[in-house]
Amino acid sequence: MTFSVHGLAVSRGIAMGRAVLVASSRADVAHYFIDPSKTVEEIQRVRAARDAVAEEIARVQRDLPKDAPHELSALLDVHLMLLQDEQLISGIKHWITDRLYNAEWALTTQYEIIARQFDDMEDEYLRERKADLEQVVERILGFMKGVASPVLPAGRARRQPRQQDLLLDDTLDVPLVLIAHDISPADMLQFKQSLFVGFATDVGGKTSHTAIVARSLDIPAVVGARSASQLIEQDDWVIIDGDAGVLIVDPSPIILAEYGFKKRQGELERQRLNRLKHTPAVTLDGQKVDLLANIEMPDDTAGAMAVGAVGVGLFRSEFLFMGRAGKLPGEQEQYLAYRKAVEGMQGLPVTIRTVDIGSDKPLDKLTDRTQDGQLNPALGLRAIRWSLADPPMFLTQLRAILRAAAHGQVNLLVPMLAHASEIRQTLSLIDRARAELDNKGIDYGPVQLGAMIEIPAAALTLKLFLKYFDFLSIGTNDLIQYTLAIDRADEAVAHLYDPCHPAVLRLIADTIAQCNAQGKSVSLCGEMAGDVGMTRLLLGLGLRSFSMHPSQILAVKQQILRADAGKLKGWAEEVLDSDAPAALL
Ligand code: PEP
Ligand code: MG
């Protein structure tokens, strides 16, 4: 029966496909399709791991001391039994043979299905066996890590069609949509060369970093869809309406046809926008506007170039640091990554932001929604605070960035500064990094220094920032979060996360005005820059540099080409003075 789940729209467009449920804790398990000729081999991989686990358990059981509690031996019996469980084994075979899932994916998918059945059981003893199953699966996964995985093949699974398959796609290439409770930004990155055509999570706000990465995948996405991962079952047909923030589960043929039409309309619109790629972003009254790209990884520069970005306005370097089990990238690795981005932009400027770890961007897994027991990670040791707490780590990054600057135009941007003392420490460490490179005779290049304006305290003491930095970049995602005291990643307060709150607009307007008055370059790199509903207002406030994910650049350019910046100025003043600015946009 058709039903819908409402959430927050984060990435535009319509996606339709079969649900793949991925548990948060399993997001780091490899997900890829195997070549049809490899199914036997793949089943054998799981079998070998399962046999190894069984052998290990049997050995432990054999070696149990005579006086070991009886429960221990009984527990091992349960584990052995679970390993032989017919439903587990036949399910894994099904996912591998019929869907061409890789072994780990097949195992965790089948685990999720059985785990749900355990959850529904009346009997408490049986319900608790879920934990045993989890341990068993964990062990099999552990063993498989030691077994070589085949190379990632491209392509999609082919399987028997259902009615919706035929309606959707006559090539029978079945599209898949990812449904999860929560996914860390680092794990989202794994889906970058993804098989998925859309995704939805139960938690998260519009500017949570998971949503930002979703946007960078450029696939329709919905976050904050509360209980989606409970209501939707593996393999359900789901439409993800990334414009409205709605999921439609098990749609009827009429609904499918309706959305199929909407999807095609969206694709046509994209094709039309593509024609603007080489058109300079200039307003009707001749104001030139820079449209820059936000990137997470060096390879993203290809996408930026493809839409005609005039540079990278924000390289979120923290993505190089994530998901590495605490082993941070060294100077050479970072240097090569930054250099790759610089070379990828072919002479255009690249703004590399120093690491912004913390809050909803943990180094590793999202354990629960707080980090390392920090009471309130968004207000804790994050971004520059984290860097200044570990000077050797920070110096390593600074040297790498300075070295990359020898290969092109690099701007160095520092996140989350609020205090004069932090500015002084940062500048002194940059000097030290240069001196260290000098001492070793290593080549490096000049950089423009910039600060993010993303804490209200910074916006309110702009003079200080104007004195020390060559350019400023307004981070509205955090500026809104900290001005309104709304956790940007918390769907429960997402309705209060208001980019148009008069206080937020005032801080943005004043920052732009002061920079313009002093001839200092200022950019805006929060999600607001890519929101076409805000383009006219930002132009009216005097902004001439926008940095956003590449997928939004052409739509924003279209707004700019239609705008008269001079005329928008007076109107923007009115919006600023209004109690309800959103109503005027
Ligand atoms: C911002 O806060 O607006 C910003 C661009 O940085 P991030 O989203 O990475 O915190
Ligand atoms: Mg920020």
> Residue 193's pLDDT band (boundaries 50, 70, 90)?
low
**Residue 234 and residue 19 in contact, taking contact as beta carbons nearer than 8 Å:** yes
Query: Which residue is closest in CA terms to ligand 1's atom 9?
Result: 316
Q: Does 3-23+152-272 carry CATH code 3.50.30.10?
A: yes
Condensed to tens digits (0 to 9), the pLDDT of residues 214-223 reads 888 888 999 9
Condensed to tens digits (0 to 9), the pLDDT of residues 31-43 reads 788 889 999 999 9
Condensed to tens digits (0 to 9), the pLDDT of residues 80-100 reads 888 888 889 999 999 999 988
Taking every pair of Cα atoms in the chain, the longest distance, rounded to a whole number of angstroms, is 89
For a substitution probing ligand 1, which of 10, 312, 316, 455 has the most ligand atoms within 8 Å of its CB?
316
**Residue 119: its pLDDT value, please?**
81
Tell me whether residue 500 is one of the annotated catalytic residues: no
The residues, any chain, with a CB within 8 Å of residue 476's CB and separated by 6 or more, are 454, 499, 504, 508, 524, 526, 527, 528, 529
Q: What share of the chain is helix, strand, coil (3-state, %, to 5)?
A: 50, 15, 35
- What does DSSP assign to residue 278? T
Residue 572 has pLDDT above 80, yes or no: yes
Torsion angle in degrees (nearest 10) through CA of 195, 196, 201, 205: 100
Cβ-based neighbour number of residue 481 at 10 Å: 25
Block residue for tokens 């932001």: 353
Q: Which atom of ligand 1 is nearest to the CA of 212?
A: 8
Whole-angstrom Cα distance, residue 413 to residue 230? Answer: 41
Domain coordinates of the chain in residue numbers?
A: 3-23+152-272, 26-144, 275-363+378-584
The residue that leads in pLDDT, 494 or 154, is: 494
Q: Which atom of ligand 1 is nearest to the CA of 525?
A: 5
The β-bridge relationship of strands 471-474 and 447-453 is parallel
**Residue 27: its pLDDT value, please?**
60
Which amino acids bring their CB within 6 angstroms of ligand 1? 212, 314, 316, 356, 454, 475-478, 525-526
Query: Which residues, in sequence order, are bridge partners of residue 411?
Result: 351, 448
Residue 369 has pLDDT above 60, yes or no: no
Condensed to tens digits (0 to 9), the pLDDT of residues 56-85 reads 888 888 887 777 667 777 788 888 888 888
**Residue 135: its pLDDT value, please?**
81
| pTM of the model as a whole | 0.81
**Residue 185: its pLDDT value, please?**
74
The architecture (CATH level 2) of 275-363+378-584 comes to: Alpha-Beta Barrel (3.20)
Tell me whether residue 94 is one of the annotated catalytic residues: no
Which of 209, 500, 515, 549 is an active site residue?
A: 209
**Per-residue CA distances from 454 to 213, 457, 505, 524 (Å):** 19, 8, 13, 10
Task: Supply the angle between the helices 253-274 and 550-561 in degrees, to the nearest 10.
Answer: 70
Residue 142 has pLDDT above 60, yes or no: yes
Whole-angstrom Cα distance, residue 566 to residue 270? Answer: 29
Q: What tokens appear for 42 in the block?
A: 């793949």
For a substitution probing ligand 1, which of 351, 357, 414, 452 has the most ligand atoms within 8 Å of its CB?
452
Q: Of 197, 191, 182, 187, whose CA–CA distance to 230 is shortest?
A: 182
Condensed to tens digits (0 to 9), the pLDDT of residues 282-310 reads 999 999 999 999 999 999 999 999 999 99
**Residue 360: its pLDDT value, please?**
80
Selected from 3.40.50.300, 2.40.10.10, 1.10.274.10, 3.30.1330.10, the CATH number assigned to the domain covering 26-144 reads 1.10.274.10
Which of 79, 181, 500, 525 is an active site residue?
A: 525
